[in-house]
Amino acid sequence: MSSLPPVPSLSFSLFTPPTTRFGPRLGTIRFKRPEGAEIQIQTPGFLTSASRGVVPHLSRDHYAESSIRWVNLPFESFLDVPPPVPTLVPGKNPLHSFLGYSLGQHVVSMSARDPADGREMPANGNTHVSTYSLRGVRKITPADWRSYVLSCKPDIVFALSDIPFTNPPYSQKRLTKSIERSASWLANILSPPTHTSTYALSEGEYKPNILIHMAGAASVPARRAFASSLVEKLLGPEADAIKPLETLDQGVFGYTFDLVPIRLSLEAAEKQHQDPFYSPVESLPQTPPSAADANSNSNSTSTPSSEVNLDPVIPAHTDQLTPLLHASLEPLPVEKMRLVNTVQTPHEVLRLISTVGIDIFDAHWAQRAADIGVALDFTFPAPSSSSSSSISSTATKTRDNGKHDIGHNLYSDSYTHDFSSFSATPCECRACTPIAPSTRIYHGIDDPSYSNEEPAASSVREKPSFTRAYIHHLLHTHEMSAHSLLVMHNLGVLDTFFASIRRIIQRDMEAQIKGSEVEGGEWEEEVRRFEEYYDESLVVFEEARVMWRDVDLARGRGRLKREKKRQEEGTLGTAVEL
Amino acid sequence: MQFEVIARCPTTKARVSRMTLAHGVTMLPTFMPVATQAAIKGLTPEQVESLGVTLILNNTYHLNLRPGLKVLNEVGGAHKFQGWERNLLTDSGGFQLVSLSKFTTITEEGALFASPFTGEPTMLTVRLVVDAPPSTLIAPEPKPEESISIQHAIGADIIMQLDDVVSSLTTGPRVGEAMERSVRWLDRCIAYHEKSGKKERQNLFAIVQGGLDPGLRDRCLDAMIERRDNVAGYAIGGLSGGEEKDTFWRVIKQCADKLPDDSELSVDEYITDCYSNNLQGRDIQWESDSQKIYLSAWPLELIWYGPALLVFIEATDSYLNHIPKADCVFPTRTARFGVALTHGGPLNLKLNKHARDFNPIDVNCPCPTCSGKTSRAILHHTITQETSAAHAITLHNITFQAQVMGRARAAIVAGTFPDYLRTFFAEYFGGAGYPEWCVNALRSVGVDLLEGKDIKMIPGSGAKWEYSDTS
């Protein structure tokens, strides 16, 4: 078979065969390109979320310097004007070349919708998902999705799923539809190209690596039913459609869980339970009032309302998530990759690793923190109570409950004179550790032969860290540079966090192999200490969000309202003033 | 400061010089981006430096409001505060007296005005009385000295005297009064600066005032040239307030012709390049629909010499003065609103014609945006939505400006500056016609842009603006 042209190959391997179905695990995602570049992502690890195809606030030259290995692109933002522009990009790696990601450094995935968008949307149909674009709702059919994927050739693709964003909690009938459609749409993207297809592939050409969102909302039976349907051997025309695969699961690289819709369902169910007169729409901060007046299954809204909170805080319901995720994973092979979108806190990351064994988490929450002026500053393991950093003046604030913030709200005036680095201990990011440029552009009569200056040293020279006081100043003067530096930092903190997570898990595994492990292991102890040490209610985010809005109102006063509103809608209320 | 002329254009008098300050060498003429609030919009100082920028501007008025002198003193100046390792220039803050506050009162003892953000009386020449009711104007604590003291705390390599700025459209005795006062204030700034012990690292520039009146300009020039042993260089102030372009360049030429050339003077104490203070007039503008003040981001300051170069730079920028209201932007926002500058004229990337264009802004541009093959299509897709689109265009536009200056330096050194001017105009304006004032100004220094060409002249500012898909 060596005569076949080389194809990109994606693999996921666990460090050791898991002893339990659910629990901390170590793995490696390897993505090898035909050109030879291999990207490795150690798990547990994270993916970076893009907005309109780009990582918010970063210049392309910062991509290579930031802790970015996997970028997910919500595709809906390209649907404003058909055909979507990335589908027109020529070449073998259209997304990388169009969006400036590096073939040797970045794995790029594509999802139809932004997993962080919990806005109410018009209902999906039997053959379409309602998606959001700046010019209103756009329908994507499974055939559209397949053609977009085959044109854009993402390294990884999230199969189109029927996730309702109408009025949770959803009826059994609605959930049944959801799992049936999701399975059938998965079959669609798995089916090999036919000879008559315009996207016919010759051997060795692009074949998508597919992730499947685990459908079933907040219902254990529905989730179990969906998962089971993936491993059922298909018969008849269904089987013919996906040949040579026998089950849908055989064509799937990994399983994903978008937490926003699950949380919305759990929240709605809880409210309904507490209050018999509860009307589900009231629990949804993002539900437009007009829709509340209309019948609950109204399909009349053609565009999502903009007079709504685009960035609501949805109660986490973490404890209720675990059994739901278990229900989905139980029928499925244990060795495939598991991905969670829209975690809210590092605490939740730790718990989902502990109780479910999740491998990849999105970084949306940390990127969002950079939007609102929060510099993350936490460590895993948490500082021991005796260690100096917990009493140092550069440590994060301690709350009334005795717990510490996981970051600094740099809007706060307490940072006006604080010249320490974002993290008490500077991290490797370009905000904590800026590197003096080793080259510069010369424009004419300014090279060293004219300036008599030494050319820039080719060795790496680290500059002093950017300070909290400087970012405090930039935030209050509406300077966008603040957010660029904060994004690089927060991604850097996440990178360190996941590296520490892997180190502790590994130590436990090694201890286990030697037979010297203690009860529960170091991991469980450190997770417990982390939860005790750091405040999970994220008061610091709330405070930052309030100040962010205040400064926005005070300083952004002349902006054309229309422009601003569009930007907010397009960025889920996380817009930074341009 | 060390200042050395290394080449001259025999036709126009434009020259190339090497200026050595405490934070390195800046080759002149140069392009100086504006970092009003101690940041070039959206970029890191490392990015700015890698573009080949060696001099940026911070605004004294703004830094005094935020972060304030206490912070700047604690951290050891604005260089350290913003992580900028190259040269820095500050203005005096005087310009904002006219532009930012309608409550400005100028007296001999200084200027008094209200903060545009809080309404509180504030800054420069005023002692801030914290408990005062916001609407009360406090008796001024005078002082040109205070402007210098603030600039000392900022620590810029080049600092400006406090001048009494009046709008260039002002007529009558106020113009002369402002000029005379600027001269007296220069003496106080010099005296204060001499005593400060900061002279070794910071260089004080005088600002020539006198409005549009050649007589007043002349008297101001005489008075300021008399003080040449005590100033490191000169700026030309009090322009760009809405006067005719032809008037504007004539005043510049008058000053440039008269200001001493270093060949007669001790080089290490002297720099005769002119800091065009007036360009701040374009840096702060009013948005007509809301009457709100916008502050600068986008950078069009420069150090230049001679009318030839001035015209050249003004021309690249002149389209900004006549943009349709629907795209009511100004230089500070061009990048953020999707305007990319190219040698072939500005591109408005918001236009749909760029939506499917996979070419970079300028295939020959060395900036990270173009050399990284960022397409017009992705910029079109993200502009006004994502800050990173603005960053990408800002990286490009700064590089473009630096390229224009670098090529000018190269042409002067090669003795081909007049040709370069003609080529630049031909590429940038093409068949759209040349601004008449540019043609006039360059004729005054011996360059005929229209030589051998049949090109129409556009009166007014000669705007060139890509404002609709049908254009």
pLDDT tens for each residue of chain B, 471 residues long: 888 888 888 888 778 888 899 999 999 888 788 788 999 889 999 999 999 999 988 888 889 889 999 999 999 999 999 999 999 998 877 655 444 444 455 556 555 554 444 444 443 433 333 333 333 333 343 378 888 999 999 999 999 888 887 777 788 898 999 899 999 999 999 999 999 999 999 999 888 889 899 999 999 999 999 998 898 888 877 776 567 777 877 887 788 778 776 533 222 222 222 333 323 222 222 222 222 222 221 222 233 333 455 554 444 443 333 322 222 223 345 677 788 888 888 888 989 999 999 999 999 999 999 999 999 999 999 998 999 999 999 999 889 888 888 998 999 999 998 899 889 888 887 777 887 878 888 888 888 989 888 888 888 655 444 554 443
CA nearest to B220, candidates B246, B250, B185: B185
B327 is an active site residue: yes
Which residues in chain A have Cβ-Cβ distances shorter than 8 Å to B18? 450-452
Which residues in chain B have Cβ-Cβ distances shorter than 8 Å to A470? 38, 81-83
CB distance A222 to A25 below 8 Å: no
Tokens 């609103």: give the residue: B337
From the number of C-beta atoms within 10 Å of its C-beta (0-12, 13-18, 19+), residue B11 rates as: middle
- Strand residues in B176-299 grouped as ranges (E): 203-208, 233-236, 274-276, 285-287, 292-294
CA B218 to chain A, closest CA, distance in angstroms equals 34
Give A204-255 pLDDT, tens digit per residue.
578 899 999 999 999 999 999 999 999 999 999 999 999 899 999 999 999 9
CA A105 to chain B, closest CA, distance in angstroms equals 15
Interface contact flag, B70 A474, Cβ < 8 Å? no
Cα–Cα distance between A559 and A538 in angstroms, integer?
A: 30
Angle at B143 (CA atoms; ends B138, B149), nearest 5 degrees: 115
Angle at A274 (CA atoms; ends A284, A115), nearest 5 degrees: 30
Please, what is the angle between helix B214-226 and helix B245-258, to 10°?
Answer: 30
CA A473 to chain B, closest CA, distance in angstroms equals 6
Active-site residue, from B91, B164, B283, B362: B91
Secondary-structure percent of chain B, ordered helix, strand, coil, rounded to 5: 40, 15, 40
The size of the A-B interface in CB pairs under 8 A is 214
Who contacts A553 (Cβ-Cβ below 8 Å, separation ≥6)?
none
Alpha-carbon Rg for chain B in angstroms:
21
Looking at the DSSP bridge assignments, the partners of residue A212 are A255
Tokens 């992705």: give the residue: B378
Cα–Cα distance between A102 and B187 in angstroms, integer?
A: 58
Who contacts A161 (Cβ-Cβ below 8 Å, separation ≥6)?
A129, A178, A181, A182, A185, A212, A213, A215
User: The tokens of A455 are what?
Assistant: 């050319």
Name the residue facing A59 among B49, B293, B388 (closest C-beta). B388
Interface contact flag, B16 A445, Cβ < 8 Å? yes
Tokens 């055939």: give the residue: A143
Which residues in chain B have Cβ-Cβ distances shorter than 8 Å to A450? 6, 18, 27
Looking at chain B, which residue has its C-alpha nearest residue A561? Answer: B290
CA nearest to A512, candidates A523, A501, A502: A523
- pLDDT value, residue A289: 37
Name the residue facing B355 among A85, A430, A484 (closest C-beta). A85
Name the residue facing B391 among A59, A557, A570 (closest C-beta). A59
Looking at chain A, which residue has its C-alpha nearest residue B333? Answer: A578
Which residues in chain B have Cβ-Cβ distances shorter than 8 Å to A419? 74-75
Interface contact flag, A441 B52, Cβ < 8 Å? yes
Test mutation, B40, B58, B373, B381, chain A, max A CBs within 10 A: B381
Output the DSSP codes for B27-96.
EESEEE-B-TTSS-TT--HHHHHHTT--EEEE-HHHHHHTT-HHHHHHHTSHHHHHT--SEEEE--S-HH
Looking at the DSSP bridge assignments, the partners of residue A27 are A14, A43
Who contacts A401 (Cβ-Cβ below 8 Å, separation ≥6)?
A535
Cα–Cα distance between A17 and A4 in angstroms, integer?
A: 32
Active-site residue, from B213, B218, B257, B327: B327
- pLDDT value, residue A518: 66
The residue type at A470: Y
Who contacts A203 (Cβ-Cβ below 8 Å, separation ≥6)?
A4, A5
The residue type at A16: T
CA B291 to chain A, closest CA, distance in angstroms equals 8
- Strand residues in A33-121 grouped as ranges (E): 38-43, 45-49, 70-74, 107-111
Test mutation, A441, A484, A557, chain B, max B CBs within 10 A: A441
Which residues in chain B have Cβ-Cβ distances shorter than 8 Å to A448? none
CA nearest to A93, candidates A82, A103, A81: A103
Angle at A569 (CA atoms; ends A563, A573), nearest 5 degrees: 105
User: The tokens of B408 are what?
Assistant: 């000018």
Test mutation, A481, A553, A566, chain B, max B CBs within 10 A: A481
Which residues in chain B have Cβ-Cβ distances shorter than 8 Å to A57? 42, 387-388, 391
CB distance B305 to B409 below 8 Å: no
Length of chain B: 471
B362 is an active site residue: no
Name the residue facing B410 among A55, A444, A481 (closest C-beta). A444
- Strand residues in A15-96 grouped as ranges (E): 27-32, 38-43, 45-49, 70-74
Cα–Cα distance between B135 and B129 in angstroms, integer?
A: 12
Q: Which whole-number Å values give the CA distances from A309 to A569, B53, B349, in the listed order?
A: 10, 42, 30
Weakly modelled stretches of chain A, pLDDT under 70: 1-6, 194-204, 276-309, 385-391, 456, 517-520, 554-563, 572-574, 577-578
Taking residue B96's Cβ as centre, other Cβ atoms within 10 Å add up to: 27
- pLDDT value, residue A550: 85
Whole-model pTM: value is 0.89
B433: phi then psi, degrees, rounded to nearest 5: 100, 150
- pLDDT value, residue B134: 38
- pLDDT value, residue B108: 61
Cα–Cα distance between A520 and A505 in angstroms, integer?
A: 12
Q: Which whole-number Å values give the CA distances from A231 to A221, A236, A251, A566, B309, in the listed order?
A: 16, 16, 10, 43, 74
* Ramachandran quadrant class, B298 (left: phi over 0; alpha: psi -120 to 50; beta: rest): beta
Name the residue facing B409 among A53, A55, A444 (closest C-beta). A444
CA nearest to A56, candidates B377, B398, B391: B391
- pLDDT value, residue A290: 38
Cα B341 to chain centroid distance, Å, stands at 17
User: The tokens of A50 are what?
Assistant: 């893009």
Cα–Cα distance between A155 and A11 in angstroms, integer?
A: 12
CA A88 to chain B, closest CA, distance in angstroms equals 8
Name the residue facing A483 among B24, B82, B387 (closest C-beta). B387
CA B374 to chain A, closest CA, distance in angstroms equals 7
User: The tokens of A441 are what?
Assistant: 């552009």
Cα–Cα distance between B444 and B446 in angstroms, integer?
A: 6
Interface contact flag, A52 B386, Cβ < 8 Å? yes
Which residues in chain B have Cβ-Cβ distances shorter than 8 Å to A56? 386-388
